[in-house]
Amino acid sequence: HIGRMPSAGETLDWERLRLTILEADTRRIQRVRIELLDGAANGESA
């Protein structure tokens, strides 16, 4: 969806998720951190 291979350290917000690339090489992502972007979890009200 971003049209290229992301590098380590890059962050992508997709729908209600934040994906942070932890390890990647030129062909594949090896480790990724996935966080839920939910306003209620951050103390925000709707």
Q: Quick check: 5 and 24 in contact, CB under 8 A?
A: yes
Task: Determine the pLDDT at residue 44.
Answer: 57
Task: Determine the pLDDT at residue 17.
Answer: 96
Instruction: Give pLDDT tens digits for 1-46.
Output: 678 888 999 999 999 999 999 999 988 999 999 999 987 555 555 4
Task: Determine the pLDDT at residue 26.
Answer: 87
Q: Whole-model pTM?
A: 0.70
Q: Which residue ranges make up each domain of the chain?
A: 1-37
Neighbour-count burial for 6-38, b at 16+ CB within 10 Å, e otherwise: eeeeeeeeeeeeebebeebeeeebeeeeeeeee
